[in-house]
Amino acid sequence: MEEIKDLDVIEELLETKQYTRLRQKLSDINIADIAIILEELEEEELLKTFRILPKSMAADVFSYLEVENQQYIITSLSDREAANIINNLMADDATDFLEEMPANIVKKLLSHASADTRRDINHLLRYPESSAGSIMTVEYVDLKENMTVEDAIQRIRQIGVDSETINICYVLDPKRTLVGTVALRYLLISPPDAVIADIMHENVIYLNTLMDQEEVARQFQKYDFTSMPVADNEGRLVGIITVDDVVDILQEEATEDIEKMAAIVPSDRPYMKTGIFETSKKRIPWLLLLMISATFTGSIITSFENALSAVPMLTVFIPMLMSTSGNAGGQVSATIIRGLSSNEIGYRDIFKIIWKELRVAIICGVTLAAAYFVKLMLFDKSGIDVAVVICLTIISAVSIAKVVGCTLPIFAKRVGIDPAVMASPFISTVLDALTLMIYFSIATQVLHLS
Amino acid sequence: MEEIKDLDVIEELLETKQYTRLRQKLSDINIADIAIILEELEEEELLKTFRILPKSMAADVFSYLEVENQQYIITSLSDREAANIINNLMADDATDFLEEMPANIVKKLLSHASADTRRDINHLLRYPESSAGSIMTVEYVDLKENMTVEDAIQRIRQIGVDSETINICYVLDPKRTLVGTVALRYLLISPPDAVIADIMHENVIYLNTLMDQEEVARQFQKYDFTSMPVADNEGRLVGIITVDDVVDILQEEATEDIEKMAAIVPSDRPYMKTGIFETSKKRIPWLLLLMISATFTGSIITSFENALSAVPMLTVFIPMLMSTSGNAGGQVSATIIRGLSSNEIGYRDIFKIIWKELRVAIICGVTLAAAYFVKLMLFDKSGIDVAVVICLTIISAVSIAKVVGCTLPIFAKRVGIDPAVMASPFISTVLDALTLMIYFSIATQVLHLS
């Protein structure tokens, strides 16, 4: 709400060309909020306001903007202005931004950026997407073991004090191997002549540059650190990752899981920014595949045409049975997929899980069958033989559903397929066919059809 | 892997009763890893090892353990030992733990805890579950405006330097209203006689004690802070929240969404720790409700018995049509639910979304229909009239599915129902019925049935 009020004020100041007051107003607003306000402005007003921003804020605000607006701004600025923004961005933000830009713009921007910036960015651009290397920042404070606290504070002043990444300082040996960490708070309360080697914390836990971002997030969750160092295969410090990046990773991964579980090809772009063709392209492959698979379910019905024409009322229960087994299977698979992705569950647990799900299936199946039996007897006045067929099918279908629902995601992970694909839409299609086969074989047996 | 090696060593040291070496070994291992190792031990060994832990580590290790093990340890320790653990826990960890304990144990533990601890914990226990107040910690550094940097450093030494929560210090006026913040790094590089009021950062953004944890997480994502202050309705500082708690909230909320979307009553407990009756209890309500709803779908089939016996092959396509519309609807609803929960989408967007989904539906529907038409003509050699019925049904059903799939979650949120409930299982059940009605009316028209 606050932002809307600010937006009105800013639009008025822009219209009435009161640029000095505008600049003043902007410096009172938090950077993230300014970005939100800028997103609401027309392109020209956006550019005008961005240029008015105090220099010290411009790069930070820039890093919060949507890619489309970043691209618009950077191409509208002069080369020097643009290079200035790039130089002032944190290296990891600059890399994120450059990864989204066309190659010719990247080249032009980098050619104007300072040598330091260029080196940092090139360094990050070399790591595979979603690896620890690609999300780390190379801006951190490195100390030497033989420095005193006073030397260390001198070094911090020199490197710059604006970044949140200096709450932990990293102690390196001459080969740049990480030998310890010192929290800023210990520097603060230690005597100026204390030696770093004596106050540093050894046994540092670090990440590898090639570690996948999902694993990075898991390490942060495990250790509750606010930042972790990233080292290369030789143990040399190359960057650090801060917990605010981890928050973004977790959201991204959860969204990706949910999309895959809903039979959508996952996408990086937010829904409202994706065009209708791109949206359709993400949805059609699975719809098509599942549609073709569901055709087999139809042909199972055909092959039992005789049973159905002998007892036509059997058709009525088909949707209920398919839906129940699909839902029962979907419940387990969602639970297992989530457990696998948070590493709570592993392949080693498979027998424990099947045994648990079998017992849960009996409880669920019998409860549902009993409820449906009452409904059949009271409202449908169906024959006891049909009721027996339906109840036996419910119990068997729920049992199969629970077992399939827990084994498929675990096996998928085992053979390197993303388990999230084994969620409800896929599982339901498999279970529809299985349920019908169970249904018709029980019906054939109990009702003596042939 | 590291942990398994450590586990072997520790088990051997325990067996051979080399307690001094065990204690030494433990102090080399990271706290989170010790917790993982302890979880693997038998209860008695667990207790023995826990008691051997250096005092300074015991409370921290304790906070990483599973609730069951915490309860076991705390009831096995003497009252004094137990009170010692509670006193050394961070207040928010202690509160989390006490919330899980039976009331009589809580009472006993609190009676032995120090007055300070008791006050902090009672304070936190008073806030509603999942509110900012209940997850905040009350351990932070508060400064006064007229303090010098030297006074401030003195105050930090006095409050204690072990906590990560002191990277930002909070400046309060005499009424304890939050007037500014000072980053620890500025204290470090400022002259000792500088006055806090001059170096502090004003315009502090704070959370309210009653704010829901989901909103808390959203604020952290928006501002990228590593900690945020929490104030009561009068603007008085009462605690702070650190970003590592936010990581846990985000995981919890995502799991809860996924569970609700799979028609499970969400649960706080990890899957492997939940008994089969509890698991069943979380699953049966929705299964039952959806089973009963699916019965209506069955009765739609009955009411079109005549059409089906006139053209028996119409039955074959029922599973494919129901599954396709269910999947199409599930795709949209999952996307919309995720968008709503990350606040990307709101009620205001409803017409834009419907318009987008209608166009996506036409693209998806026509593509699927075309593919199925080819299949019908080439493989099934069905009549052109049946093919027309199927293709028209696919297009209409996908369109209805996309519109229902996007409107239901948005309306649900509008009237205060959790949108996650409007995911695939529920949507599919609604769509099954709608699809069959569309199918049979198109069939009746095109094939001139009555």
β-sheet bridge partners, residue A230: A207, A239
Under 8 Å between Cβ of B219 and B206: no
Within a domain: residue B305?
yes
Residue predicted with more confidence, A72 or B110 = A72
Place of tokens 């989904």: B357
Last residue of a domain, one of B85, B104, B135: B135
Residue A1 confidence (pLDDT): 47
pLDDT of B404 over the 60 cut: yes
Residue A4 confidence (pLDDT): 66
In this predicted model, what pLDDT tens digit does every residue of A425-443 receive, in sequence order? 889 989 999 999 999 999 9
Within a domain: residue B213?
yes
Residue A397 confidence (pLDDT): 95
Q: Do A287 and B331 make contact, defined as CB atoms within 8 angstroms?
A: yes
Q: Is B397 on the interface with A (CB under 8 A)?
A: no
Q: Do A244 and B261 make contact, defined as CB atoms within 8 angstroms?
A: no
Residues B293, B233, single domain; the answer is: no
pLDDT of A175 over the 90 cut: no
Integer Cα distance of A236 and A253 in angstroms: 29
Q: Do B288 and A371 make contact, defined as CB atoms within 8 angstroms?
A: yes
Residue B2 confidence (pLDDT): 56
Which of A247, A350, A439, A440 to mutate against chain B (most B CBs within 10 Å)?
A: A247
In this predicted model, what pLDDT tens digit does every residue of B371-381 receive, in sequence order? 999 999 888 77
Within a domain: residue B250?
no
Under 8 Å between Cβ of A408 and A335: no
B331 to A129, A252, A262, B424, B428: CA distances (angstroms): 26, 17, 5, 8, 11
- Contact list in A for residue B270 (CB cut-off 8 A) is 339, 344
Residues B91, B158, single domain; the answer is: no
pLDDT band at A14 (very low <50, low <70, confident <90, very high): confident
Domains in chain A: how many in total?
A: 3
- CB-based contacts of A195: which residues, under 8 Å, 6+ apart? A145, A146, A147, A148
pLDDT of A128 over the 90 cut: no
Closest CB to B288 among A299, A368, A423: A368
Q: Do A226 and B242 make contact, defined as CB atoms within 8 angstroms?
A: yes
Integer Cα distance of B232 and B377 in angstroms: 70
pLDDT of B1 over the 50 cut: no
**Cα angle value A11/A14/A20 (rounded, 5°):** 125
Which of A258, A293, A390 to mutate against chain B (most B CBs within 10 Å)?
A: A258
- Contact list in B for residue A319 (CB cut-off 8 A) is 294, 297-298, 301, 318, 322, 432, 436
- Contact list in A for residue B247 (CB cut-off 8 A) is 217, 220-221, 243, 246-247, 250
In this predicted model, what pLDDT tens digit does every residue of A267-314 receive, in sequence order? 777 788 888 888 888 889 888 888 888 888 888 888 888 888 888 888
User: Can you give the length of chain A in residues?
Assistant: 450
Q: Other CB atoms closer than 10 Å to residue A383's CB: what's the count?
A: 13
Under 8 Å between Cβ of A260 and A282: no
Residues A51, A77, single domain; the answer is: yes
- Contact list in A for residue B386 (CB cut-off 8 A) is none
Within a domain: residue B235?
yes
Q: Do A279 and B326 make contact, defined as CB atoms within 8 angstroms?
A: no
Chain A: closest CA distance from residue B121 (Å): 21
Residues A174, A288, single domain; the answer is: no
The percent of residues above 70 in pLDDT, for chain B, comes to 97
pLDDT of B125 over the 90 cut: no
Residues B294, B182, single domain; the answer is: no
- Contact list in A for residue B305 (CB cut-off 8 A) is 312
Contacts 24+ apart (CB under 8 A), B284-288: B284/A363, B284/A364, B284/A367, B284/A368, B286/A327, B286/A331, B286/B425, B287/A324, B287/A327, B287/A328, B287/A331, B287/A364, B287/A368, B287/A398, B287/B263, B288/A367, B288/A368, B288/A371
Q: Do A286 and B28 make contact, defined as CB atoms within 8 angstroms?
A: no
Residue A3 confidence (pLDDT): 60
Under 8 Å between Cβ of A66 and A46: no
Within a domain: residue A261?
no
Q: Which of A213-222, B53-62, B223-232, B428-437 has the lowest mean pLDDT?
A: B53-62
Q: Do B334 and A271 make contact, defined as CB atoms within 8 angstroms?
A: no
In this predicted model, what pLDDT tens digit does every residue of A357-392 receive, in sequence order? 999 999 999 999 999 999 988 887 778 899 999 999
Q: Do B242 and A221 make contact, defined as CB atoms within 8 angstroms?
A: no
Integer Cα distance of A45 and A15 in angstroms: 9
Chain A: closest CA distance from residue B104 (Å): 31
pLDDT band at A405 (very low <50, low <70, confident <90, very high): very high
Within a domain: residue A246?
yes
Residue B448 confidence (pLDDT): 85
- Helix, strand, coil percentages, rounded to 5, for chain A: 70, 10, 20
Q: Other CB atoms closer than 10 Å to residue A148's CB: what's the count?
A: 16
Last residue of a domain, one of A252, A284, A309: A252
Residues A234, A377, single domain; the answer is: no
End-to-end CA distance of chain A: 70
Residue B402 confidence (pLDDT): 94
The CATH number of the domain holding residue A54 is: 1.25.60.10
In this predicted model, what pLDDT tens digit does every residue of B205-238 receive, in sequence order? 999 989 998 889 989 888 888 889 999 888 888 8
Domain assignment of residue B41, given as a range: 2-135
Chain A: closest CA distance from residue B291 (Å): 6
pLDDT band at B93 (very low <50, low <70, confident <90, very high): confident
Residues A178, A313, single domain; the answer is: no
Residue predicted with more confidence, A116 or A146 = A146
Strand spans (E) along A71-183: 142-144, 168-172, 178-183
Within a domain: residue B265?
no
In this predicted model, what pLDDT tens digit does every residue of A197-256 receive, in sequence order? 999 988 889 999 899 988 899 898 888 888 899 998 888 888 888 888 888 888 888 888
Residues A246, A286, single domain; the answer is: no
Q: Do B299 and A290 make contact, defined as CB atoms within 8 angstroms?
A: no
A90 to A62, A140, A240, B278: CA distances (angstroms): 11, 11, 12, 49
Residue predicted with more confidence, B380 or B333 = B333
pLDDT band at B4 (very low <50, low <70, confident <90, very high): low
pLDDT of B124 over the 80 cut: no
pLDDT of B159 over the 50 cut: yes
In this predicted model, what pLDDT tens digit does every residue of B266-297 receive, in sequence order? 877 788 888 888 888 888 988 888 888 888 88
Under 8 Å between Cβ of B361 and B399: yes
Smallest CA–CA distance from B379 into chain A, residue: A295
If you average pLDDT over residues B167-173, what whole number do you get?
90
pLDDT band at A163 (very low <50, low <70, confident <90, very high): low
- Mind giving me the DSSP string for A225-279? -SEEEEE-TTSBEEEEEEHHHHHHHHHHHHHHHHHHHTT----SS-GGGS-HHHH
pLDDT band at A56 (very low <50, low <70, confident <90, very high): confident
Integer Cα distance of B77 and A34 in angstroms: 54
Which of B258, B289, B342 to mutate against chain A (most A CBs within 10 Å)?
A: B258
If you average pLDDT over residues B179-205, what whole number do you get?
88
Residues B202, B301, single domain; the answer is: no
Last residue of a domain, one of B109, B135, B161: B135
Residue B223 confidence (pLDDT): 84
The CATH number of the domain holding residue A323 is: 1.10.357.20
Under 8 Å between Cβ of B316 and A301: yes
In this predicted model, what pLDDT tens digit does every residue of B64-73 receive, in sequence order? 888 888 888 8
Within a domain: residue A262?
no
Report residue A292 as tokens: 């073709």
Q: Which of A33-42, B88-97, B324-333 has the lowest mean pLDDT?
A: B88-97
The percent of residues above 90 in pLDDT, for chain A, comes to 25
Q: Do A262 and B334 make contact, defined as CB atoms within 8 angstroms?
A: yes
Residue A162 confidence (pLDDT): 58
The single-letter code of the amino acid at A299 is S
Question: Is ipTM beyond 0.90?
Answer: no
Residues A316, A437, single domain; the answer is: yes
Residues A14, A77, single domain; the answer is: yes
Which of A158, A201, A295 to mutate against chain B (most B CBs within 10 Å)?
A: A295
pLDDT of B382 over the 70 cut: yes
CA dihedral B173, B176, B178, B183 (to 10 degrees): 80
The percent of residues above 90 in pLDDT, for chain B, comes to 25
Residues A153, A207, single domain; the answer is: yes
The CATH number of the domain holding residue A234 is: 3.10.580.10
